[in-house]
Amino acid sequence: MISENFRISSVSSTALVIEIIDPSLFEGQFNIGSYVKVPCRGMQDTYVVGVVDNYRIKDLQAISATDSSSPSFLLDVKLVGMLYGSKGSLIFKRGGHGVPLPPNNGIGILTKEELSAIYSTGLLETEKFTFSSLVTHSDVKVPINGDKFFNKHFAIVGATGSGKSHTVAKVLQSAISAKSSKYSGLNNSHIVLFDIHGEYSQAFPECNYLDSSTLSIPYWLFDGEELMELFIESSESNSYNQVSQFRHTVIENKKIFTKSEKVFFDSPLQFDIKQVKRYIQNMNSELVNKKKAKVPEDKNGKQIADRIPCYFNDEYEFDKVSTDFVNGPYTGEFDRFLMRLENTINNPRLGFLFKDSTGITIESVLQQFLGYGDSKKSNVTVIDLSGIPFEVLSITVSLISRLIFEFGYYYKRSLVKNPKSEAPILLVYEEAHKYVPRSDMVKYRASKVAIERIAKEGRKYGVTLGIVSQRPSEVSETIFSQCSNYIAMRLTNPDDQAYVKKLLPDTSGDLIASLPVLQSGEALIIGDSISLPSMVLIDTCSDKPNSTDIAYLKEWSEEWRAINFPQIITPWKS
């Protein structure tokens, strides 16, 4: 590069304009996104660093149609910081006060060493976390601060086909392979990945894989909000009676199982949903004898002085044998409620909630989610949600998220001498807009409450979030705005672009404008964990998720293939 062919023609506190005097001598040294340095006059080994943001032709209107000379053009450069020192001792600092006047014209392109210094300045070796390289300099790796990336929540967004799933896999693969010293076996990373399309088990061959057939989530672990979402139809006219009686029945049944009076509706204590249903069935059909203090009396004349525990243990038949018998306080109120209870309990697709929970404890459920299995331990737990019915997807995600958050809370409380969590946990939500949308609908309430709580409080207890979505504009703003780091891939929807731009803490000029034209695997990394916002190319992951695009034309051009319809339909109907 001939530096004399470049001239600074304009300077401001945040930008400068570089004129290329003779385009015939220009050999394409600069690209959009290239990093340049300008030496500060009178300040040895001190440079202003900028990024080429745009370019334009100079005096285009003045060029005549017959003029054969090449017009000069101007490069718009956004200033990002200062570079100090010489080879081997370079230090980069964000910000600065622009170019000292008068500007020095010795413009240069940053070398590989200088670019590496920008991203490594202030990073300890134990903090460096690398999974990408610069788009404009593929041989320059881009380390970020791994502590700041994982402990402040992050988001990965991108349209279908942008390489989002591969990016998620690469980030997590890099995390589980990191080791502070030479030791064999697993490191201490703990990652729970909510996989809504069933594509990530292939990327993590040694993962702890859970799906609807292997999940152990006993219904009695649900809190009050989740239980009511599962069993109560909020739109019914007498839903307040359903809620009141259901709460009372569950609490009393928990007291019987725990043999304790200190029980709350939200307590994670065992109860029997069939006994609860039996109690409500008796309440719905009971008749009381008005001449005998309105005590319930069945058709055989047996008086039921204490509904508890009698109504839990037996189902009674009532018959109006005389005018002395009148309806009980809730007779006929719960017909539809009982039908919903019956259908929910006996739904084969919800078997993972209502299968025999004998021997299941909170400890065993947590060990299942955190990869502490009896047969093997695993850094990554992939929870395949593709087989979970949509009507219970929200409360399933809610329960798992809430349990892990509360584990983090009580785990930290147990560390008396060292209040910092010794086993921090990352929860990654693939297609997060599916269960934490910007919607106030009741069916999303449980998962939004649980995940929003983690977004606001989780860092204190070593539980952080990774939000992944192809439609960021549809994700809860409360959750998305809590993220301090973003990996933004190609976004073509204008609403998504505007939403990301609004939430990003630092856009560094017009980098966000390039989101619609990014190639697959390219991304904008921005946030607290990186020295300056940068366009990067994500490294190839070692094992790829099952998200490769189908080669339609290739498949269609093959010979007609037979399809085993019974094999497909059988699990569909179950």
- pLDDT confidence band for 202 (50 / 70 / 90): very high
Report DSSP state, residue 182. Answer: S
Question: Is pLDDT of 26 > 90?
Answer: no
**What 3-state class would DSSP assign to 407?**
helix
CATH homologous superfamily of domain 128-216+360-556? P-loop containing nucleotide triphosphate hydrolases (3.40.50.300)
- pLDDT confidence band for 316 (50 / 70 / 90): very high
- pLDDT confidence band for 322 (50 / 70 / 90): confident
Average pLDDT rounded to a whole number, residues 254-278 = 91
Cβ(53)–Cβ(510) below 8 Å: yes
User: What span, in angstroms and rounded, lies between the C-alpha atoms of 382 and 397?
Assistant: 13
For the chain, residues classed under CATH 3.40.50.300 are 128-216+360-556
According to the model, what pLDDT value does residue 70 have? 64
Order the strands of the 463-469 sheet from edge to edge.
141-145, 128-134, 534-538, 522-527, 485-488, 154-157, 463-469, 425-429, 190-195, 380-384, 208-210
Cβ(552)–Cβ(568) below 8 Å: no
Question: Is pLDDT of 507 > 50?
Answer: no
Q: What is the pTM of this model?
A: 0.87
According to the model, what pLDDT value does residue 175 have? 95
Nearest-5° Cα angle at 216, 212 to 220: 115
How confident is the prediction for the chain on average, in pLDDT? 86
